[in-house]
Chains A and B, each alone.
Chain A
Amino acid sequence: MTRKGLTRNFSPIEILTEEQIESIHKSTLDVLQKTGVRFESKRALELFKENGCEVDTDKKLVKFPPGLVEECLRKCPSSFRIKGRDSSQDLSFGGNTSYFLPFPGKDTIDLETWEPRVPTRKEFYDVVKIMDALDTVHYTGSYVPWFGFKYVPPVMQMLEGDAANFRNSSMPLHCNYGKDCEKFAIEMAKALDAVNLGVVGVSPPLTYQEDACKSAFRNIEAGFPLYIQSGATYGATAPATIAGATITNNAELMGGIVLAQLTKPGTGILVSDFGFPQNMRSGHPAFGQIGSSLHQVMFNQIWRRYKIPVGNHSTGLSSSKKIDYQCGYEKAILCLLSLLSGANEIAFHGCVYGELSFHPIQLILDDDVVGMIGRFLEGVEVSDETLAIDLINEVGPIPGTYLTKEHTRKWWKKEQFVPKAADSLTYPEWMEENKKDCIEYAKKRMKEIIETYKPKPLSDNDEDAIENILEEARRYYRERGEISDKEWDAYKKDLESPDYPYA
Chain B
Amino acid sequence: MIARLIADAKHIAVGAASPIPATACELLRAQGKPIRVTRLHKRSGNPFTEGSRELFDLAGQGRIDYFFLGGAQIDGEANINLVRAEGRRFPGSFGSAFMYFTCRTILFREEHSPRVLVPKVEFVSAPGWSPPEVARRGGPVALLTGKALFAWDRERRRFRLESVHAPHTMDEVRAATGFQFDDGTATATPAPTADELALLRNTVAPRIAPDYPDFAKRVWDKGQGIN
Q: Do A and B come from the same complex?
A: no
Chain B interface (Cβ < 8 Å from any Cβ of A): none
Footprint of B on A, CB under 8 Å? none
